[in-house]
Amino acid sequence: MERLTDKIAALPPDANYFSLEFFPPKTQMGFANIQARLERMAHSLRPLFVTVTWGAGGSTATRSLELAEVCQRQLNLTTCLHLTCTNMSRALVDKALEEAKVLGIRNILALRGDPPRSEEYNMHGEDDSNKEFMYAVDLVKYIRKQHGDYFCVGVAAYPEGHPTDSYQEAQDPMRDLPYLVEKVKAGADFIMTQLTYDLDAYMKFEQLLRNHESGTFKSIPIIPGLMPIHSYKILTRVTKLSHVNIPQPILDSMEHLKYDDDSVKQAGVDIITNIVEGIKKTPSPGPRGFHFYTLNLEKTVSFILENCNLIPPYTEDSDGEDTSAIATSTMDAIPKDGQPRAFTRRRASSINSLPHNRVIVDRAQLHQAGSNESSKDSATHEAPATSAGMPAMPPDRSTTLQISEGLGALGREATWDDFPNGRWGDARSPAFGEIDGYGPSLHVSAAVARKVWGHPVSHEDINTLFRRHVSGELYIVPWSEGGAEEATGGLNPETKVIRPELLKLIDGRGWWTLASQPAVNGVRSDHPIFGWGPQGEGFVFQKPFVEFFCPSKDYKSILKPIFEKYDHEQFAWFAVNESGEFESSLPAQPADADTIEMNPDNVNAVTWGVFRGKEIVTPTIIEEVSFRAWGEEAYRIWDEWRRVFPRGSPTERLLDSTKKDVWLVCVVGQQFGAGTEPESKEEEDETKLLWRVLAGEQ
C-alpha cells in the first residue's frame, strides 16, 4: 500500500534503487508463465517497485489490471499502473482508477497515449475521453481533483525530445519543457523518462531540469528509462519507433554482432552497465533510481542489475540462506528413532526437488530391517512416506538469481524463450507477440499514414500499396512491424529472394502478402542472406511459408480446393476471418479446451538452427494459438487504419467493408529440400512447390 515517493524517501540519500516494467502477455499461456517469472524475479532481484503497461486507447485494460493484481496482491510488489487517457471510453478512466484502489495500488504513471482523434474520426462514438482529456496534464489534474493525494502520480519525460505528431517537426527537449513544468505543477510526484542509449544526452537533459529557472525539478525524483539489448533487430526497431538515437560507437558494435543474438546480449549487458555507472556519477538530490523495460524477459536484465550492484544485499529477511548447507539426501528428514519431526524451511526446500522419480519407503521399517538392505545408490531414489506429495519450497535467493541469469540446471526456466522474435515466437512466452505491450498500432502517426498510403478508394488501390511494398518502393504497410527506414524499402534480404513469387500472388491473385520466407536447406550460419546465430558454427533451415489476406470468394473457390488436394504432409495452413471463424489443416482445439496448454498437433517449426554445443534453436514457429492471437491483432489494424480517415468517407467505408470480407491465411510448405541434391531439379521442385501451387501454375 506504499506510495513510491514514500519508499524512495525512506532510502539513504546516497542509495541506488531500480524498478522493472512488464506488459500483460497476449496469450493465456503467456500470462500463466509470467506469474512464475515475476515471482522468481521478485525473490531474486527485489525491485523497489514494478510498473504494468496500459495499451493505447485502453486496448489492454482488462489484462493490465489482471497483471497489476498479480503483482500487487499475490506477490506483494509495490505496483505502478500506467494509464493513458485519449481515444478511449471516458468511463474507463474512472473504472481503472477505482479498480486500482480496490487492488491496493497507490501509484499511477499518467500518460496521454496516442494523439487524440477529433470527433469526425470517432467511429462509433466510443472514444469520448477526448472531450475531457487531450494531454497527460489533464489526467494528472483529474486524478488530483477526484482522488486527492491518495495516488502517487508519475509523468513521462523525453531526454531527446517528445516524438512529434507531425512528420514535419523535429524533436526538441527545450520545446517540451513548459509542458513538463505544467505536469509537475499540476501534481506529479516523480518523472520517468523514455528509454535512452545516449548517456551524454541523458545527463544534459537531467542537468537542464535540475537547473531550470522555475525550480520545479530541483528535488523531484527523475528516473531514467533503460532497455536491455536482446537482439539487433529489436534494438533498431524500438529506437526507430521511439525516435531514440543510438550513439554511433554502440551502433557499430551491434552491427558487427547482429546475426548472433547471444553475442548481442553479452555486449548489450556491458553497454547498459556503462550507462548506469555513468548516470550514478551524476549528482542527485536524493536516492538514484533506474527503470528497466524488461520486455517480459529476465536473463539480460538480471545480469545488468548484478553487474551494477543494484540488487539489494542479502539479509535474514531476504532469505539469503547458504544452499551448501542443504543436505543432498532426504533420508535425514526422519530421525533414527523413526518419529517424524517438524520440517524446517531449509530442510523442506530440498524435499522432492531431485529430478527423478523415487520410491516411497517407510524409514522406520527400513531402519529396523538393517542398513544393508538399501545401498547408497538406491537411497537417492527413495523418499520417506512422510514427505510424499509435499511440494518443494522455493529455492533460496542466491539460487533464484542464478536461475534468472540462465545458469545451472534450472536456468532454462529463464531462457527457454530468450530469443525475442515478436509474433513468430513461442505463444507460451510472456514476451510473445509484443515489444512493449502497447497494443495494435500503425507505428506511424495519422499524418504520416495519410502521406505514405494516401486515400485508397478501391481494392486496386490497396493492391497497389502491397505491390509497391514488395517491389521495394514503399517501406511500410499498416501490418509492417515498424522500425524500417524509409530509404531501405522495408524488405528483408531474404524476402527479395522470393519477390517474383510474391508479386504473382499480389498481381495475379489479388492477395495481399504480410509475411513470408523461402525454403532453406541447411546453409551455413554465416550465409550472407539466410545466416543467423553463432557465425560459422552451425547450419540453418527454413520451411517456405506465406501469410496473406484474400477475398472470401477466393478462399472458398480457390484455396479450399487446393488444401483438399494437398494434405497436411505437404501444406500446413491456418485461416481466420474478422468474425473469428477459424479453420486449419489439422483439427482445431475444442471450444472448451484448456487454452493454457499449447495444442502440440498444431505446432510447426518453420525456422531452426543446429549449432555446436547447443540445443536445436527454433526462433520461428507457427501454431494455432499464436496465429489466432495475431489474427485478432491483424483485424484490429484494419480498424486503426480506417480511423485515420473521417467517419463515413469513401476510404473509411472501403477499409471497413474489406476487413469484414477478407480471410487471413497462412500456408506453410512442409518440404524444404531435405535429402535432395543441392541445386538439383528435385530440390527446386520441392522448394518451389508452395509458390507454384498458390499462383495456379501447378
Q: Catalogue the active-site residues.
A: 21
DSSP strands (E only) in 339-417? 359-361, 382-384
Q: Is 490 in contact with 474 (CB distance < 8 Å)? A: yes
Written as one letter, the residue type at 54 is: W
CA distance 3 to 10: 11
Q: Is 580 left (phi over 0), alpha (psi -120 to 50) or beta?
A: left
CA distance 97 to 84: 11
CA distance 698 to 689: 8
C-alpha grid cell, residue 472: 521495394
Distances (CA, A) of 104 to 41, 49, 196, 535, 660: 21, 14, 31, 50, 42
Written as one letter, the residue type at 26 is: K
| E strand or H helix at 376 | helix 376-379
Written as one letter, the residue type at 501 is: E
Greatest alpha-carbon pair distance for the chain in Å reads 90
Q: Residue 404, exposed/middle/buried by CB under 10 A (0-12, 13-18, 19+)?
A: buried
Task: Give the ranges where 80-198 is alpha helix by DSSP (H).
Answer: 90-103, 136-147, 173-185
Backbone angles phi, psi at 540, to 5 degrees: -120, 150
Q: What is the CA radius of gyration of the chain?
A: 28
Distances (CA, A) of 505 to 451, 650, 696: 26, 26, 9
User: Helix and strand tally (H, E) in the chain?
Assistant: 25, 19
Cβ partners under 8 Å of residue 614, min gap 6: 534, 538
Give the pairing type, strands 663-669 and 545-550: antiparallel
Residue of 250, 265, 255 whose CA lies nearest to 299: 265
Cβ partners under 8 Å of residue 100, min gap 6: 65, 68, 81, 106, 108, 151
CA distance 5 to 8: 5
Q: Is 267 in contact with 10 (CB distance < 8 Å)? A: no
Residue with cell 517528445: 162
| Cα dihedral: 163, 167, 172, 174 (round 10) | -90
